[in-house]
Amino acid sequence: MLEIKNLQKGYNNQPVIHGIDICINRGEIHGLIGSNGAGKTTLLKCVTGIYKPAQGTVLYDEKDIYDNPEVKAKVAYVSEQLDFINVYSVAGIAKYYQNFYDTFSINKFNELLRRFGINSKRNVGTLSKGERSKLYFILAIAQQPEYLIMDEPESGMDAEGKTMFRDILIEEVEKEQIGVLFSSHDLADVERMCDSVAMMEAGEIFAQRSIDEFIGSVQKWQGVLPQNITDDKLLAMNVYAASKIGDLSEFYTVGEREESEGILRKLGIGDYSGQQITLEEIYMLLKKIYIQGKGRASVTLSEGEYKHE
């Protein structure tokens, strides 16, 4: 199990992340989403033992990772910063990794190269950004880690590469029971791949649940709003207006579906119907609530899963 407890880190006496708590079991994929500058990369560098936290702990199977080579050997890290040595060939990079990782599988490395269509004789300096992202991912999987931490691992990949990345990651997690934590701006892929997600803004986690729980706790509706209703009246009842097409309006509610339907009836909203909702829409709504400081979602999500301080 990967346990992140009350993690805090800053620079020049300025906090960057604070009060972070995440727990991931092996065999699970946990997504980390948030705005640029939210603190995701700083968090992941603490989780991989690159940075020493100012406070809190990062435990893998109850052992601290910082300054612990034994634990670090079980963790693979894929960074968005692709700092390869360009004079090496792809095959040469694999040999370089073999010198540092006893568990590195050259057979798995070559098989993944084949699946991604990368020639082992190519010089690393000739690879595109997307090809380098694929190579970094291949190297990480070939390490045969127990835990995999990734920062924007699909950066630069084309659609085919992203599909291959997703398929291979899920295969390895199911087969080898790897515990995965990764950040991404591709929320559609996060929704497809992840068991659970943490939403991050301004250095803290403001919502954290399983994908199914998120989708079950936020609803999207379409219906006819009464002519005299205002946005303030909707907000007072935890109803969030989205858009309007003709007489029909789209809006969101947060909480149990039956309770939300009761609120819609109380407001006199006519001919309403539930609409399919995406993780991206849920994220944008909860982020807006968090930033505005309204805190209205806190009464309907379990304590600790949505918070505003």
Q: What pLDDT sits at residue 82?
A: 65
Q: What pLDDT sits at residue 33?
A: 97
What distances in angstroms separate CA 102 from CA 7, 105, 305, one per listed residue?
30, 9, 39
Mean pLDDT (whole number) for 183-203: 95
Secondary structure in 3-state letters for 191-259: HHHCCEEEEEECCEEEEEEEHHHHHHHEEEEEEECCCCCCHHHHHHCCEEEEEEECCEEEEEEECCHHH
CB 243 within 8 A of CB 249: yes
Residue 88 and residue 257: Cα distance in Å, rounded? 56
What distances in angstroms separate CA 26 from CA 3, 142, 148, 258, one per listed residue?
11, 17, 10, 35
Tell me, what amino acid is at 205? I
Beta bridge partners of 270: 224
Q: How sure is the predictor about 296, in pLDDT bands with cuts at 50, 70 and 90?
A: very low
φ and ψ at residue 17, rounded to 5 degrees? -130, 145
Q: Over the stretch 3-21, which tens digit does the pLDDT of each residue have?
A: 999 999 998 888 899 999 9
- Starting from the edge strand earliest in sequence, which strands make up the sheet with 63-64, in order? 14-24, 2-11, 55-60, 63-64
**Other CB atoms closer than 10 Å to residue 231's CB: what's the count?**
11
Q: How sure is the predictor about 230, in pLDDT bands with cuts at 50, 70 and 90?
A: confident
Residue 259 and residue 254: Cα distance in Å, rounded? 9
What distances in angstroms separate CA 54 from CA 9, 12, 51, 63, 78, one per listed residue?
5, 12, 9, 18, 23
What distances in angstroms separate CA 293 from CA 105, 200, 274, 280, 309, one per listed residue?
50, 15, 27, 20, 8
* Per-chain mean pLDDT for the chain: 90
Tell me if residue 178 falls in helix, strand or coil: coil
Is residue 146's pLDDT more than 50?
Answer: yes
Q: Over the stretch 232-251, which tens digit does the pLDDT of each residue have?
A: 889 888 899 888 888 899 99
Q: What pLDDT sits at residue 103?
A: 95
CB 38 within 8 A of CB 204: no
Q: Over the stretch 70-129, which tens digit does the pLDDT of each residue have?
A: 999 999 999 877 677 777 899 999 998 999 899 999 999 999 999 999 999 999 989 999
Residue 238 and residue 87: Cα distance in Å, rounded? 58
What is the DSSP track for 42-106?
A: HHHHHHTTSS--SEEEEEETTEE-TT-HHHHTTEEEE-SS----TTSBHHHHHHHHHTT-TT--H
Distance from first CA to last CA of the chain, Å, rounded?
28
